[in-house]
Amino acid sequence: MSERMRIKTAIVTASANGLGRATAIQLASEGVHVALVDMDEAGLAETARLIRDAGGAVDSWIADCTAESEIISTVAAATKMLGPIEALVNNVGGSAGKDAAPLHEQSAEVIMKVINQCLIATILWSRAVLPQLREAGYGKIVSIASDAAFAGDTNMSEYSAAKAGVVGFTRAMAREQSTFGINVNAIAPGPIRTAALDRLAPDVLARAEAGIPLGHLGQPSDIAKAVAFMASTDADFITGQTLIVGGGRWMH
Ligand SMILES: NC(=O)c1ccc[n+]([C@@H]2O[C@H](COP(=O)([O-])OP(=O)(O)OC[C@H]3O[C@@H](n4cnc5c(N)ncnc54)[C@H](O)[C@@H]3O)[C@@H](O)[C@H]2O)c1
């Protein structure tokens, strides 16, 4: 266990690839027993292998991270296997990708899907773990927002709205749970090199990259390190905050 880490267990949603995988690897490297959850069976197995090969502790569940019944059953199963869950990383989410469009051309189906996986899933996962965190009197919830919540990216209105929702939810939860030793924070990534970026239209990606003052896309480990900081005792006096990790694309 790294000196700064008090949590012993964590659930990381959508952890078969990308930012979720990097975060799970980072937490496991600091001694946290990690519960992986994703729909991608092969990706889950690869994340678990990477963690085990490095000497970490990991278990994984195949589940739709947006389905309430699967959220509840996965939290129960993970608790049985790992013991009390002490941290949750709400990572599941995603933009419309190749279906991105100006709002007047966007389908209701895509709008609902994006808001469901970015915002509603974050709320439902948090609700499912909160009783355990409150009982323990210590715990961490870290949700993955996006700098789109602040920048308001073109053709991504439902995504920007959903991620801004994560920012507001984080603040409300932080206040609501503050007397139970639970820190609730968010990380807002800028453009990070994952498969999600490959699904963006080339002009959207080019615009995003050109707007980064530090001059390059981020790596998944940039986000993983920020999440681990928020999950650690180093951040015990931080709550309700959204830390933007985006090479300066949005400054506030
Ligand atoms: N990559 C970026 O530039 C960037 C920027 C800002 C925010 N984000 C956010 O970071 C998070 C992770 O994005 P990423 O770039 O790592 O994406 P990714 O495409 O690399 O990985 C997404 C993972 O989510 C899983 N997944 C998707 N829907 C699921 C569901 N319903 N149930 C279970 N698993 C599901 C996929 O199987 C995959 O393993 C998302 O919330 C995204 O909005 C990413």
Token pair 């209701």: residue:
108
Mean pLDDT on 28-39: 98
pLDDT surpassing 90 at residue 158:
yes
- Report the pLDDT value the prediction gives residue 225, as an integer from 0 to 100: 98
Q: Which of 61, 125, 150, 159 is catalytic?
A: 159
pLDDT recorded at residue 1: 81
The torsion angles phi and psi of 197, rounded to 5 degrees, stand at: -70, -35
Neighbours of 91 (CB within 10 A): 29
Please report, for the chain, how many H helices and E strands are present, in that order.
Answer: 10, 7
pLDDT computed for residue 252 by the predictor: 87
Alpha carbons 118 and 142: distance in angstroms, whole number? 13
Query: Residue 204: what pLDDT?
Result: 79
What Cα–Cα distance (Å) separates residue 193 from each residue in 11, 17, 100, 203, 211? 23, 11, 19, 16, 15
Q: Is 159 a catalytic residue?
A: yes
Mutating to test ligand 1, I would choose from 112, 113, 147, 194 the residue with most ligand atoms within 8 A of its C-beta, which is 194
SS3 at position 164: helix
Write out pLDDT tens, residues 204-235: 788 889 999 999 999 999 999 999 999 999 99
pLDDT at 203: 83
Q: Which residues line ligand 1 (CB under 6 A)?
A: 14, 16-20, 38-40, 43, 64-66, 91-94, 117, 144, 146, 189, 191-192, 194-197
Distance CA 252, CA 249 (A): 10
Q: Using a pLDDT cut of 70, give the percent of the chain over it.
A: 100
The pLDDT tens digits of the residues spanning 87-139 come to 999 999 999 999 999 999 999 999 999 999 999 999 999 999 999 999 999 99
Does residue 80 carry a pLDDT above 90?
Answer: yes
Mutate which of 92, 150, 243 for ligand 1? The one with the most ligand atoms within 8 Å of its CB, which is: 92
Cα separation, 121 vs 113, in Å, equals 11
What domains are defined for the chain? 9-243 (3.40.50.720)
Residue 148 has pLDDT above 90, yes or no: yes
Contacts of residue 174, defined as CB under 8 A and 6 or more positions apart, other chains included, come to: 183, 184, 185, 239, 240, 241
**Can you state the angle between helices 68-82 and 121-136, rounded to 10 degrees?**
30
**pLDDT band per the 50, 70, 90 thresholds, residue 200:** confident
SS3 at position 142: strand
pLDDT at 202 over 90: no
Find out whether 6 and 233 touch, Cβ atoms under 8 Å.
Answer: yes
Q: Is the pLDDT of residue 163 over 90?
A: yes
Ligand 1: which residue has its CA nearest to atom 33?
38
| 11-15, 58-62, 193-197, 232-236, range with the lowest pLDDT | 193-197
- Chain mean pLDDT for the chain: 97
Residue that is written with structure tokens 């895509």 in the block: 110
Q: How confident is the model at residue 55 (pLDDT cuts 50, 70, 90)?
A: very high
